[in-house]
Amino acid sequence: MSFSSITQTTITPHSQKPLTERTYPKESEVSDAIQRAAKAQKEWKNVALKDRIKIAERFTEEFKKMENEIPLELTLQMGRPVAQNAGEIRGTLERAKYMISIAESSLADVPLTDTDKPGFRRYIRREALGVVLIIAPWNFPYLTSINSVLPALIAGNAVILKPSPQTPLTGERFAQAFYNAGLPKDLLITLHLTPELTQYAVQHHLVNFVSFTGSVAGGRAVERAAAQAKTIKGVALELGGKDPAYVRPDADLQYSVAELVDGAFFNSGQSCCAVERIYVHDSLYDDFVREYAQQVQNYKLGDPTTEGINLGPVVSVASANRIRKQVADAVSQGAKPLIAEDKFPQATPGSAFVAPQVLVDVNHTMEVMTEETFGPVVGIQKVSSDEEALKLMNDSPYGLTASIWSKSAPDSLVENLEFGTVFLNRCDYLDPALAWTGVKDSGRGISLSKFGYDQLTRAKSVHLKSLNP
């Protein structure tokens, strides 16, 4: 995307042509939108929970009606092959339906009847926070937004949704589907904001909570802005990852290779929970590397609107240049690339197309094994034991997900891995029944599961004493 003083222009990654423009609001218009949301929320929080849930259920129906329009529209905004975008729609609906299914139990009063003394009644109630500002990313814009938008509204909040300038149409789709479902006016407002206006919104006195998904640098900026606001507010940060996988001696080789190729290269590796580093036990290492490189060579890189393409461009030329440099730096330090770039002629300098790459002879002195790549690149390192694998997996400033590939997951690994999610024989997946969370520089806070509702509400303790004899 590009910015001017009054507009943002979204650039289609594969063609580098302008797709759509949006005009930025004035600061006064941002404030007016937040004030309208705050006013609407005062009434919305008193609407019966069952009625809020009914609107959320109708939202899923309205969103599904868009399933034929969204795939190409999303490809033109962020570059993923069009054939793969139906999966984002399915995932969005899966998460929405699960969060709807647990809403009543998650938001119910917690009675303390068993320990109440005679004449007393005590309970804990979950109450809406007020206005929730959700700052969404471009890489999985529907999947990430639904994690907070839908439960925030069900819980009785109003939402200001700031979509990425790379995917501006996604925020507008959400608003359209919710309002078609009967959501009252001003409870979901989509705003296209400059960095300066985003900071203004974060610090606005009527914004009660901020949910940010994006880079570590972006998360730190949001956290600083919130800390400097005149009013105290909560902040949830879902940030980067450098997610590892460990292939143990008893792993199913063919299955593990196929899953880890997809886990590393789907969406051109542009996922916070993509597999970016793989540690393989030395007893399997040679066979694993050979099979892995062979499968990666079969990718078809090209125009993501074309049938048969399963690897599209990265989001921008600037991102492509950064990824190429990380690979080049690793090679200059002794890493060995296994994929010949001439197999992917579309990956030319100055374009957003990046050839998939598998690097071996890597180590943790190389940035490719320690810093987020966010591209179609993976490093594979040989290890000799569970202990060595554990040490290397934890040797990272990030802690989003980690996966173990084996017939079993030893407690010594599961208990000592410093990550928000630990997988066995799967990766790069969010189960809406589980808390989505990270540690270290991968952020803080929780979305999805019952605990996702806890984040979007506050506890109110009610302590009642009867004076009747």
Nearest to 379 by CA among 440, 426, 338: 338
Q: What is the H or E stretch that residue 60 is in?
A: helix 49-64
238 noted as active-site residue: yes
**How many Å apart are CA 146 and CA 88, to the nearest integer?**
11
- Other beta carbons less than 10 A from residue 210's beta carbon: 27
| Contact predicate 297/357, CB 8 Å | no
| Contact predicate 125/459, CB 8 Å | yes
**Given the structure tokens 């400033």, which residue do they identify?**
397
Pairing of strands 120-128, 131-135: unpaired
| Contact predicate 206/233, CB 8 Å | no
- Other beta carbons less than 10 A from residue 196's beta carbon: 10
Return the ∠ at Cα 320 (arms to 316 and 321), rounded to 5°. 115
- Order the strands of the 207-213 sheet from edge to edge: 188-190, 158-162, 131-135, 207-213, 234-238, 443-444
Per DSSP, helices labelled H in 266-408 are 285-296, 317-332, 386-394
Catalytic annotation, pick one of 88, 238, 276, 372: 238
Strands (DSSP E) found in 305-376: 336-337, 357-360
Backbone torsions φ then ψ of 83, nearest 5 degrees: -65, -20
Structure tokens at 340: 């010949």
Sequence-distant (6+) residues with CB within 8 A of 405 are 245, 246, 247, 248, 251, 252, 256, 259, 260, 424, 425
| Contact predicate 324/355, CB 8 Å | no
Per DSSP, helices labelled H in 299-341 are 317-332
Q: Please name the amino acid found at residue 186.
A: D
Nearest to 378 by CA among 281, 296, 291: 296
Q: Report, as residue numbers or ranges, the catalytic residues.
A: 238
